[in-house]
Amino acid sequence: MRSGRGASRMRRGRGAWLASLSAALLLSGAADAQPGAAPPAGPKPGAPAPGPTTWFGQALARSDAGLNVTYFWSKGDELRAETVVLGHKIVTILRGGRYISYDALNRVGIDLGRSKAAIAADAARARPFGNELERLLAQGGEKVGEETLQGVPCEIFRITDERGRREVWALKTGSRLPVRVVVFDRRRGARIQTDYVNWQSGLPIDDSFFAPEAGIEFQRMGFEEYSERVLKGGPVGPVPILYADLLIGDE
């Protein structure tokens, strides 16, 4: 990106799309090994091989617009996320320097080069999703209390600024995985609560799981070309960018 203004425009465009299609803020937390719905068909079972750490998490996002469920898998820096928006399964794949998003129903998508800042951030995090606590602390968030959520001891962290209020409930010990994230958007007057359930680690996941399925028609472009198109206004590509930080980098 050439300016913070351009990055903000990207995020505003994403926010408008999410609000209109009930998909706002699909990231946040719940506890280790909580009961929940079984994930959709994922990697085939088998003996785990040595390699990057793998993670699975299921996120339940509630707002005035309704409920959205997202499934996340990661292997090292690679990510696959699946969510259904108005009957369309939106698949997001992060693989090296590429950000891929496609509509599995309409068979169209976008394949973008990531920014240098986004790629550099890969090395600093444990996984590409479920990093709300680390981001909140980096923005100046502080611990404000402790509570037990569904029998799980949690620490509560919060930050309030011109954008509104963001709150993360994280496991008190061990991995400190996010359990709940509550966001109040001051500009829209909207409250979104997301709970993570079914956290799992150490799953055997083949590298091919982080490749898009065959038969998808992609629009492909580098990050600079994408940025220029966004600065000119209007949507770019047939699907939304749900995780702008993984494409653009953190604010």
Domains and CATH numbers, the chain: 4-38+47-248 (2.50.20.10)
pLDDT at 46: 54
pLDDT at 96: 86
Token representation of residue 158? 């919060």
pTM: 0.79
pLDDT at 15: 42
pLDDT at 44: 55
Q: What is the mean pLDDT of each run of 10 residues along the chain (251 residues)?
A: 48 41 32 41 52 92 90 97 92 96 97 96 92 94 94 95 95 91 92 94 96 96 93 85 91 59
Concatenating the DSSP letter of every residue in 148-166 gives: EETTEEEEEEEEEETTEEE
CA nearest to 93, candidates 177, 14, 210, 237: 210
